[in-house]
Amino acid sequence: MSNPDNNPNDVAPTNPAYGTGMFRRRIRLTSGDGWVFGELEDSSHAFKVRLAFEGNRIIDVLAETIRYPMTTCSTAVNPLTAIIGMPLGLSAGELAKQLTPRLQCTHLFDLSVLAYQHIHRTDSVRVYDIQIPDETEAKQPRPLEVFQDGQRVLTWMVRDWQIFEPSALDGHTLRSGFSKWLEALYPEDEQQKEWAWLAQKGYLVSQARIFDINQLGGTRKFVGDHMVGICHTYSEAQIKEAEHTHLSFIDFTDNASELLAFKPLES
């Protein structure tokens, strides 16, 4: 693929504040009579999704892409319609197998799966917070934490895509192979698997803090062949049109209260 904006010798512009901040992601799930609503916001994304269900099936999906890193992310609402007609009661893994995640926006899809899993819960509202501090020059493992309704439910000490603590997970990866060991460790515990997936996806997105993303707006820099097939934006059908959006990145280090306020970006 020819890409005049993508020189393999380019170095991504670094975030001058990296090393002093915190990645934060918040997800809110709300259910009602025949519907469930999911909201997600972090430094790189702001999405909403509403699933409607009747009887034992999903009958409709509405999604809103408010803030996203690549221009083609906004069209990810189209493949998400595959969830219509899905039966209720599937595990997250079973649902994912039906919907081909690599054709979806990873984060909008994850939000939809979380909303789907929330349908049968007795608590109508649930809020998840995921956070991890930036790596410092000391390069020590950092606490990757998940909170449910304000209560900490998971803490892993991580560095370089590897878990160091708790000791039972020492050496386990957050990269390829994550889902395999997670399923082997918690085959029947869907809640533990959900917390773990929240942590892993949070760690993935936290890596964007290393770079000054807002300097990339309007370019195709660092969009290359090696990325084809990893998600909707980088699918064969979309990647040729993908550009970085303008001013998509927000630092929530010191203003966690603004998460899910969906503050408009300043132009």
pLDDT for 9: 45
What does pTM read for this prediction? 0.92
pLDDT for 187: 93
Per-residue pLDDT of the chain (267 residues; tens, 9 = 90+): 345 555 544 667 899 999 999 999 999 999 999 999 999 999 999 999 999 999 999 999 999 999 998 888 888 788 899 999 999 999 999 999 888 877 788 899 999 999 999 999 999 999 999 999 999 988 899 999 999 999 999 999 999 999 999 999 999 999 999 999 999 999 999 999 999 999 999 999 999 999 999 998 888 876 655 565 557 666 666 767 778 889 999 999 999 999 999 987 765
Compute the C-alpha angle 205/209/213, nearest 5°. 100
